[in-house]
Chain A
């Protein structure tokens, strides 16, 4: 039971963080982003490459990961925010895929990313550090879990402050009625860029923690399904709610990892894997059909007609 709870809480924390970034995009600004996995990947790879190939220390490579993801957010936003919603959804998915394919086999890039062979050995320093900061009594997973949730808490508080600030109110204004905000003299494009950058940076940090959890970086980890899982966590918990990503992450991974414990006599390994995905799909449909605002979301704050 304890390993189950730990695995759920750890993965849920990582996806809650990632979904907090998506919440900035979708929940608070109404920007449709289906390429979130790209920011997750760029964070992980920036940290991994700097740490293993250039000997950059842990903290600077964490920061660089966030900066790189933020920059990618700006770059993606440039073509993306000119497009209407339906085009944006598809273009962001393709951007995520371009990014994965380049990591895997881009000429020149593979010298850094080692292509499909991937990168290992960046996490030792991170886990050794737990003795130095007085968390030596925790095992590596528990230590990662504590750091992840501390980050979720800090990011949550910062987002709460930001969103209720005048800046955040402009974002919500854009979500409700872009033209009205523009009529008030606000530079909507600039705000959308900032929203994209902020959400991407948060996802980059989530990507670093994810990389620490799985211990190696491989391009094919970063498939569009990761983005869909993240969306499910957000929509399940409730977009535009600060607790939404957290509750959604815990419930989603609680169910998802729970299916790992179905005994083999009832379902064989492959069948259980199929059934898990069918369950995820059915869950996504059920939320959207029966409670489109999610567990904690409010109908008033739900993004309509986008």
Chain B
């Protein structure tokens, strides 16, 4: 039991990081139907911009600010020069998906080219603090609390603000939203800015867990995807639930009673995803009519 609690705690830590990234991905998907394979590399980029800051001697909390702003600007800039023009030319979902695979390679290896293959750190990871049933490092506690704060922020934005309502309306039914006078281009840009900022923030959270390296976002991407579609594509709350489930499932699969090697844990998470989709092809919170 003690082992299970510790694994669940670990799962919540990784699930929190995945959730922050997954909400950004799913917001964009809900509005643009873009499956962005470069999303993981947006995450890496955010983490590395923060490394530049900490390398200059700034504390991480200060270095995080320009990284998050950069993340937002980068995502918004790509919408301006790449995604927006492509959509206007009528590119199909699959066309855009393949463009994102190309973009992912360009981004990742540009990061490698600039920063090299070395592993960077924001600072030493401290010892675990014992909470009785489980123990976590201070960094892991910051990850969970920081991610939860960001997710609550997104929820408030979606529920309480005009812009959030417009985002939800657009995601629900694009034509109806457009007809009711919502400025689609503006909301699309705002969504990218929020997604970009969230993703950079998620990248910093991931880096805080220990290491910042060129493949970090790419390696997390499939877990992010799994969280998104387990929750139901386009649903921000679904993405949060799905990501936590994915995180906890993959950690619990290494429990000594189950006895699977930890190399397999991501495979177990994916398997759970496929089994859930067999029974609920639209995901946990996904809308049936969207099928």
Contact = CB atoms under 8 A, between A and B. Distances in A.
Contacts of B91: 288, 292
B104 interface: yes
A275 B270 CA distance: 32
A277 B108 contact: yes
B102 A231 contact: no
Contacts of A235: 98
Contacts, number: 131
Contact of B281 (A82, A107, A277): A82
Given A95-B274, A274-B109, A231 B229 contact: no
Interface in B129-175: none
A95 B222 CA distance: 11
Interface string A202-237: 000000000000000000000000001001000100
A82 B276 CA distance: 13
A284 B109 contact: no
B183 interface: no
Interface in A270-289: 270-271, 274-275, 277-278, 280-286, 288-289
B291 interface: yes
Contacts of A85: 93-94
A94 B273 contact: yes
Contacts of A87: 229, 233, 277, 281, 283
A1 interface: no
Contacts of B103: 281, 285
Given A93-B225, A95-B274, A274 B112 contact: yes
A228 B101 contact: yes
A112 to B, nearest CB: 16
- Band of interface residues on A: 35 or more
Interface string A236-273: 00000000000000000000000000000000001100
Contact of B274 (A91, A106, A288): A91
Contacts of B271: 98
B126 interface: no
Contact of B263 (A90, A105, A274, A285): A105
A282 B273 contact: no
Contact of B106 (A82, A105, A281, A292): A281
Given A79-B277, A84-B291, A97-B266, A281 B97 contact: no
A285 B102 CA distance: 5
A303 B94 contact: yes
A305 B86 CA distance: 14
B263 A271 contact: no
Contacts of A163: none
A89 B291 contact: no
A281 B222 contact: no
A97 B278 CA distance: 18
A98 B270 contact: yes
B164 to A, nearest CB: 23
B58 interface: no
Query: At the interface, is chain A mostly helix, strand, loop or mixed?
Result: helix
B117 interface: yes
Contacts of B94: 32, 85, 89, 303, 306
B277 A83 contact: yes
B261 A107 contact: yes
B102 A79 contact: no
A270 B277 contact: no
Given A86-B93, A93-B225, A101 B98 contact: no
Interface string A70-108: 000000000100111111011101110110011011110
A106 B263 CA distance: 9
Contacts of B274: 79, 91, 94-95
B35 interface: yes
Contacts of A285: 99, 102-103, 106
B5 interface: no
A94 B261 contact: no
A86 B92 contact: no
A184 to B, nearest CB: 22
A158 interface: no
Given A101-B266, A231-B98, A281 B109 contact: yes
A304 interface: yes
B59 interface: no
B27 to A, nearest CB: 15
Nearest to B108: A277
A270 B264 contact: no
A91 B93 contact: no
Given A93-B225, A292-B95, A107 B102 contact: no
Nearest to A305: B92
18 contacts: A83-B281, A86-B33, A87-B229, A87-B277, A89-B94, A90-B35, A91-B274, A94-B270, A97-B270, A235-B98, A270-B117, A275-B113, A281-B105, A282-B102, A283-B102, A284-B98, A286-B102, A303-B92
Interface of B: 29, 33, 35, 86, 91-99, 101-110, 112-113, 116-117, 222, 225-226, 228-229, 233, 259-261, 263-264, 266-267, 270-271, 273-274, 277-278, 281, 283, 290-291
Given A91-B274, A107-B259, A280-B102, 8 more contacts: A79-B274, A86-B233, A87-B277, A91-B273, A94-B270, A101-B266, A102-B264, A281-B101
3 A-B pairs with the lowest CB-CB distances in the bound complex, closest first: A281-B105, A284-B102, A285-B102
